[in-house]
Every structure is written in structure tokens, then in C-alpha cells.
Amino acid sequence: MSAIDQLFREYRSAGRKALIPFLTAGDPDLEFTGLLVRELDRRGCALCELGVPYSDPIADGPVIQASYTRALAGGVKTRAILELAGQLRRPAGSEAAAVRMPLVTMISYAIVYRLGLQQFVRDAVASGVSGAIVPDLLVEEAGPLAEVCREHDFSLIQLVTPTTPRERARRIAATSTGFLYYVSVTGITGERRELPPELVDNVAWLRHETDLPICIGFGISGPEQVRQLAPVADGLIVGSAFVRRIADVGQSDRAAALRDVGQFASQLLEALNERG
């Protein structure tokens, strides 16, 4: 059983919902990314996505695109991101305590393919990473990577969108592990004031088709939307609203940015697990 499987088993037993923040690894640098992950873990987030910067981002809005550009300009590499994950999840010697929440990468298949499927998964597992979201991997081409992931008990998390035909959504669910990522809106990532009214019905249909936990992402910007979606989701993924809080951080205001990110996470967690 993977760390993500165990996480959602525990959360379902406790009647809890998972908050999954997204951070661009290396924005503004990997040292600060590590501090952010530790702060989010301390606040009680369930799992963290580390975005691996890519020059041609897939479905990412302007906030995350800009963060990828900044990270790439700073020279961040995939290997260094996995090393950071290892330091966070499996610290050695006098380093700070291990981060409890699982880490997953949001990574382009082009990067995985270039590194080699076996090599990427082995290196990720060795670093304590529990899974990968690969947004540009078509379900028709997912078989080889899915097989490698199964060999290593490494979760391959795939996306279903509002425009995915239902038969195709079933195929995606059948090849996914860990959880299923439901994209709430058609289009790119980014904060939105309103989410589509059909979202709840779409997720309800999908829940009848799979036993996988379903986590909703794209467009979630604050506590009110969290309250709206919490009853139908196993977890909520929030990206741009976190990344925006980090965009202009400098050396002098890092403590304030860290505090702001932590407080925002606490607000979302409170809304996510309110009892009606």
C-alpha cells in the first residue's frame, strides 16, 4: 500500500478531507520551497504537490507559468528537486524532523521520458516521493509508466476534465492509482470567483465509477469555494492561490510570506473540515 493509499484510508475512516497545496519547486529557490513545505505540514495539510518547472507548461495559468519561468531562470533541476524531497521526507543526522505528509511531483511526461521511466520512478521513490501527476500523459499511452509505478508502489495520478467523455473517464480511473484528479473547470489553472454549477454532478457520477479518492483542483481560491466542494470531494487541490503569495517574495520578507502562506492554509483547512 502506497503512502497516498494509507493517507486516504485514514482520512476516510476519520471523516476528514485532504487539503493538497501546490508549490512550484524552486520559486524563488529550493531552500524557501523546503521552508514552505515544512510550514504547510505543520499547519496540517495532507499532501503537497511539488511542481517541476517546465518551459512549456500544460494547462497552467499565468501565475504558475510565471513561477516556472522564475524557477527555471534560477537554474532549478529535477534532480535537485528530488534531493530536496529526500531531505524533507528522510532527513539524516541533525536535520529537522521528517515531513509527515506525502509529497508528489507534478511533472511533464517529456521530463520523465528523458530521464527514463524506471530511472525516474526509482529516484523518486528513493527520495521519499510517493507519486506523480503527469498532466500531458494520454491514457492511451500511460501503460508503460503505469506498469513501472505499480512495480514500485508509486502512485500515478491522472486527470479527468469536464470535457472528458465518460467512457474515457472510466479508462483514466482504471489506470490511475493514489487518487483521481478532477479538473473543476475547462481551461487553465488560476483563481476563480465561481465554479461551474455542473461540477458537483460530474464528481458524483465519477464516484459511482471508481473507488479511488477524488480530489478537485483548478480554480479554488478561498474558503467559500472549499465549503462548497468539501461535501463531494475527498480532497481539494489549491495551486495559484498559494503560488501568488510567494511570487514577489524577497530576502527581507520571507518570514512574512511564510506566515501568510501558513495562515491561508489554516483558513482553508478550517473551512474544509467544518462540521455542518
Q: Are 175 and 208 spatial neighbours (Cβ–Cβ below 8 Å)?
A: no
Check if 49 is active-site: yes
Check if 41 is active-site: no
Q: Are 111 and 145 spatial neighbours (Cβ–Cβ below 8 Å)?
A: no
- The full 3-state SS of 201-214, as one line of letters, equals HHHHHHHHHCCCCE
DSSP H or E segment with residue 117: helix 117-126
Catalytic residue among 5, 27, 41, 60: 60
Backbone angles phi, psi at 201, to 5 degrees: -65, -40
Q: Compute, in degrees rounded to 10, the torsion defined by CA atoms 202, 205, 207, 212.
A: -70
Q: Are 215 and 207 spatial neighbours (Cβ–Cβ below 8 Å)?
A: no
CA 30, CA 24: separation in Å to the nearest integer? 9
Q: In whole angstroms, what separates CA 241 from the centre of its chain?
A: 13
CA 225, CA 180: separation in Å to the nearest integer? 19
> C-alpha cell of 91?
532527513
CA 111, CA 133: separation in Å to the nearest integer? 12
Catalytic residue among 49, 123, 191, 234: 49
By annotation, the residues acting in catalysis are 49, 60
